Amino acid sequence: MAFFKNIHHPKWKQYLISILLVFLISTTCFLLNEYIGNKTVALIFLVMVSFIALTFDILPVLLTATLSALIWNFFFIPPLFTFHINSAEDILMFFVYFAIAVVNAGFTFKIRKEEIKAREKEEKLKSIKLYNTLINCLSHELKTPISTIMASVDTMMEQEDKLSADVQKELLSEINTASIRLNRQVENLLNMNRLESGFLKLKFIWSDINELIFTVIQKLEPLKNEHSIIYKPSDELPLCKIDEGLIEQVLYNLVHNAIIYTPEGTTITIKFSVHDSHCKIIVSDNGPGIPKDELDHVFKKFYRVTGSKSGGTGLGLSIVKGFVSAHNGTVTVENLPKGCQFIVRIPCETSYINQLNNE
Ligand code: ADP
C-alpha cells in the first residue's frame, strides 16, 4: 500500500503501471471468466480504476478507464474477440461502464486534489505557527541578554570612576554570561538553518574526543556556578573519525541543558567509550529528570517541557538529534532513579595515533 501512497511517481511510470495493471487484471479475469461472468469483471475493473485514481494523475487514470473499457468489450462482451456488440443491453452496459469509470476517476481525482490542498493549507498554518513561536521565543531570548549587555556597558561608561573593582568585575561577568547566551541562540538558529536547508556537509577528521569534551567543559565554565561537571578521561582510547564541530555542538547542548535545567549543586557526569564500530557519549545528571510522558517529545523542534524555566527556544535537542543523525548515529534519553541521561551513539572509524602516523 505504501507504493500507492506515493503520489509523486513520474508520469511515464504512472502510464506504465496503469497499463501493466490493466493487463494483469484482464488476464486474471479472462482465466476466471467462466466462473465470475463479465458483469463481475466490470466491477473489478471499476475498483481498479478507483485505486489508480487514488494515486495517479488524471490522464493515466483516464487511460486506464478507456483501456479497461475496450478490453472488457473485446474479451468479455459477446461476441468475444471483436469490438462489435450484439445486444442492446450489452451496448448500454458498455457505455454505462465507461461513463461510471470516467466519472469515478474524475471524482476521486478531484477529492484527492482537495485533500492535497487542505493538507498544504494545514502545513502552511503549522509553519506560520512555528514561525510565530520562533519569533516570540527569539524576541525574548535575544532581547534579554542584549538589554543586560547594554545596561552593564552604560553603567560602566557613565560611572567609570565611581565603580569599585568588585562591581566592575561583576558587571563584566554579567556581560560575559549574556554574550554566551546570545551566542548560543545565534548558533542554534544558524545550525537549525543548516539542518533545514539540507546543506549540512560533514567534514570528517580524526578527533581526540577526550580533548573535545574538555573544550566543551571549559566553554561552559562561566555558566556552571555550583554545578560540578565530572569527566574521567581515559588515555587508552583511540581517535574517532567524526565531524568535530558538530559533535562539539551536540555535547555543548547536552551539558548546557544539564546546567540550565537542574538546581545548583547538581552533578553532571560525562562518559565516553569506544566500541567495535561506534563511539558512545553519555551525559547524565542527578537533577529532576524529564516527565515520563514528555520523554518522547524533547527532541522535537520547538518542544519545551511543560513548566520549563523561561529562556530557551526548544531548538537545542532537535539540533542534537539532527547532528547525530547526520553521522547515522542515534541519541536517546531516559530517566534515572534521580535525574536523566542522554546517550549518543555514533558509528565511526577508530584508530590509534601511532597507527595513523605509520600509514
Ligand atoms: P530549550 O533548552 O531551548 O528549551 P532543548 O531542545 O534544548 O530546548 O530542550 C527541550 C526541553 O528538554 C527543555 O525545555 C527542558 O525542559 C528539557 N531538558 C533538556 N535537558 C534536560 C535535563 N538535563 N534535565 C531536565 N530537563 C531537560
Q: What is the pLDDT along the chain (359 residues), one digit of tens a residue?
A: 444 444 567 889 999 999 999 999 999 999 998 899 988 998 999 899 888 888 888 888 889 988 998 998 899 988 889 888 888 888 888 888 888 888 888 888 888 889 889 999 998 888 787 777 777 777 777 888 999 999 999 999 998 788 899 999 999 999 998 998 888 888 888 888 888 887 788 999 999 999 999 999 999 998 899 999 999 998 788 999 999 999 999 999 999 999 999 999 999 999 999 998 899 999 999 999 999 999 999 999 888 998 888 777 888 999 999 999 999 999 999 999 999 999 999 999 999 877 776 66
Q: Is 314 in the pocket of ligand 1 (CB under 6 A)?
A: yes
Report yes or no: 277 and 245 within 8 Å, Cβ to Cβ. no
Distance, in Å, from the CA atom of 171 to the CA atom of 152, rounded to the nearest integer, reads 6
Closest CA to 133 of 316, 3, 309, 302: 302
Contacts of 183 (CB under 8 A, 6+ apart): none
At 189, is the secondary structure helix, strand, or coil?
Answer: helix
Residue found by looking up cell 541543558 in the block: 257
Same domain, 215 and 166: no
- Whether this prediction's pTM lies above 0.75 is answered by no
* Strands ordered across the beta sheet of 278-285: 228-231, 267-274, 278-285, 340-347, 330-335
Residue 131 lies in a domain: no
Q: Is 290 in the pocket of ligand 1 (CB under 6 A)?
A: yes
Domain range enclosing 172: 142-197
CA of 198 from ligand 1 middle (Å) equals 25
Q: Is 259 in the pocket of ligand 1 (CB under 6 A)?
A: no
Q: Which amino acid is at 94?
A: F
Distance, in Å, from the CA atom of 63 to the CA atom of 59, rounded to the nearest integer, reads 6
CA of 85 from ligand 1 middle (Å) equals 73
Angle 255-259-260 from CA coordinates, rounded to 5°: 115
Residue 292 lies in a domain: yes
Same domain, 213 and 349: yes
Residue 297 lies in a domain: yes
Same domain, 193 and 210: no
- The two most distant CA atoms of the chain are separated, in Å, by 111
Same domain, 189 and 218: no
At 188, is the secondary structure helix, strand, or coil?
Answer: helix
Number of structural domains, the chain? Answer: 3
